[in-house]
Amino acid sequence: MKKFDHGQEHRDDGMVLIQTNLDDMNPEYCPYITDRLLEKGANDVYWIPILMKKGRPGLMLNVLTDGLLLSEIETVIFEETTTLGLRYMPVSCSRLGRNFEKVSTPWGAITVKTGYKAGKLVHFAPEHEDCAKAAREHGIPIKQVYEYVRAIYISQKSL
């Protein structure tokens, strides 16, 4: 699958960071809006607690998206949030090559996501969903699953 070929370390100059400050929105909507934006194709969505004028605690919505989706993402933000305006700026992204590998554990196979820079492994991380599932099903602490998967991965790779 082309997308996860670890040769794919790359730079992308056509990204846009959209921001809007919300001081009058029910914060209960936030996770729903995050999901809606990710489904529309946003690369990342996050919220920052801020202090706005008139002493109001607010939330800044941040959406990182491919510039080609800008108009579509803007429409979702205007429809779903209470904003009257948003701002955006062009950004470049640097991404590691990525790969997914499987590690065998007593609780079944667990995926490890890896990151490569110039062909060299610089990061690996057990996939959360797999670990959470194993922890739940086998009644063991989630941190223990992570630790174990990491230790196996390291020994397999002789890191």
Residue 91 in contact with a second copy, rule: CB under 8 A: yes
Residue of 88, 101, 92 whose CA lies nearest to 127: 101
When asked if residue 28 is in the footprint of a second copy (CB under 8 A), the reply is: yes
> Does the footprint of a second copy cover residue 38 (CB under 8 A)?
yes
- Which of 2, 85 has the CB closer to a second copy? 85
Q: Is 31 in the site for a second copy (CB under 8 A)?
A: yes
- Examine residue 1 and tell whether it contacts a second copy (CB under 8 A): no
Unique residue bearing structure tokens 């009257």: 84
**Residue 5 tokens, joined:** 């070929």
DSSP 8-state class, residue 18: E
Q: Which of 5, 72, 137, 147 binds a second copy (CB under 8 A)?
A: 147
- According to DSSP, the residues that pair with 112 across neighbouring strands are 101, 126
The answer to whether 23 contacts a second copy (rule: CB under 8 A) is yes
Q: 112: which 2 tokens?
A: 């490890």
Taking the CA atoms of residue 41, residue 42, residue 44 and residue 48 in that order, the dihedral angle to the nearest 10 degrees is -140
x/- mask, a second copy, residues 41-60, rule CB under 8 A, reads ---xxxxxxxxxxxxxxxxx
Q: Is 6 in the site for a second copy (CB under 8 A)?
A: no
